[in-house]
Amino acid sequence: MKLYIGNRNYSSWSMRAGVLLAQAGIPHEAVVLRFDAFTAESQFKRELARISPAGRVPVLIDGDLAVWDTLAIAEYVAEKFPDRALWPTDRAARARARSVCAEMHAGFTALRGACPMNIEAWLPDAGALIWRDNAAVRADVTRIVEMWSGLLRSSGGPLLFGEFSIADAYYAPVCMRLATYALPVPALIGEYVERVKALPGVAAWIAAALEERDFLDFEEPYRLKR
């Protein structure tokens, strides 16, 4: 299988799929389509048009099949590799895991918009201003803290549903945002963030993001250079 992704430093949806496959030990080749722009004539869009009608990353290619959208990719690999137990085995826990992934898929737009993922950067000053001035970001983080705290306490940890699951892959980019912008969270949440960052699949993604040494001004609202 091939997983087509964008820049690891910036592409949060690519990170979700990439971390899921890597942490689960699912054999695949990662193919980076570098962001140059998102216009129809950009090289990124032209390359992507050859493999996906949706025109977005990530895209998983398995033989003649193209699977796009991170949630569809997650469901596909969970079905193809049932031995990896990517969803919780308990039916109620599995439903809850799907619910929180769907919530991430459709929500937290204030956090995602104000704090774009930027693994290489350290932006506590920007984070402090965002936290002070953006009530919607504070509301998103409050909901995330409430959600993660409940899941960690009910599962007993160390991850959201005990062992690694699609839910942890789905929220890995949120962990990166909380770290990059130094947004204030309780100790329980900060400890979870560090555990996620230490997962081999996440640590490998972070290392590869740092190796890119790329600077894309249209992805950088808070910096003029690296």
Same domain membership, residue 191 and residue 145: yes
Are both 35 and 116 inside the same structural domain?
no
Q: CATH number of the domain that 164 lies in?
A: 1.20.1050.10
Non-local CB neighbours of 8 within 8 Å, separated by 6+ positions: 14, 15, 18, 32, 119, 205, 208, 209, 212
Cβ proximity of 9 and 120 under 8 Å: yes
- Is the Cβ–Cβ distance between 161 and 201 less than 8 Å? no
For residues 45-55, average pLDDT: 93
Residue 219 forms part of a structural domain: no
Give me the pLDDT at residue 221, please. Answer: 96
The structure's pTM equals 0.96
For 108, the domain range is 91-207
Residues 61 and 111 in one domain: no
9-20 residue pLDDT tens: 999 999 999 999
Q: Residue 179: what pLDDT?
A: 98
Question: How crowded is residue 183: how many other Cβ atoms within 10 Å of its Cβ?
Answer: 23
- Quick check: 30 and 16 in contact, CB under 8 A? no
| Residue at 218 is within a domain | no
Same domain assignment for residues 175 and 126:
yes
pLDDT of residue 206: 98
Structure confidence by residue, pLDDT tens digits, 68-107: 999 999 999 999 999 999 999 999 999 999 999 999 999 9
